Copies of this chain bind each other. A is one copy, B any other.
């Protein structure tokens, strides 16, 4: 008597027409797949983003990392606490400016990142698997039009 799948007779009103709602659903899906994809590494998009940016800009300071990954400076503190506790990152005292830290990946951090990259590629592939190549390009373009600041 159709009791299994009728859970969604709920009217979402105008929500499905709102871009913000769509984006939130999208992010939920992406995040879930990300965590699965990275498996046992206890990784999150935030931690991963920090690793990527530090690798690409060794020696950068926390404030610049914060701006790059669009997190508050205070949030970056806790992100780095986590990464440093896992021995993936080190905070070296700034040479020229003793207020700042020079961030670098440890050998372990570089290694983990290297192991993660193919998994992230798979993850990305999985997300866009229902889109043709041109559709993927279009999506990126449209998102870029709405939200500049690359």
Contact = CB atoms under 8 A, between A and B. Distances in A.
Count this chain's copies in the assembly.
Answer: 2
Given A15-B52, A53-B11, A57-B10, A30 B25 contact: no
Contacts of A15: 49, 52-53, 69
Interface string A93-128: 000000000000000000000000100100010011
A127 B139 contact: no
Given A10-B57, A12-B52, A31 B22 contact: no
Interface of A: 7-8, 10-31, 34, 45, 49, 52-53, 55-57, 60, 64, 67-70, 117, 120, 124, 127-128, 130-131, 135, 138-140, 142-147, 149-150
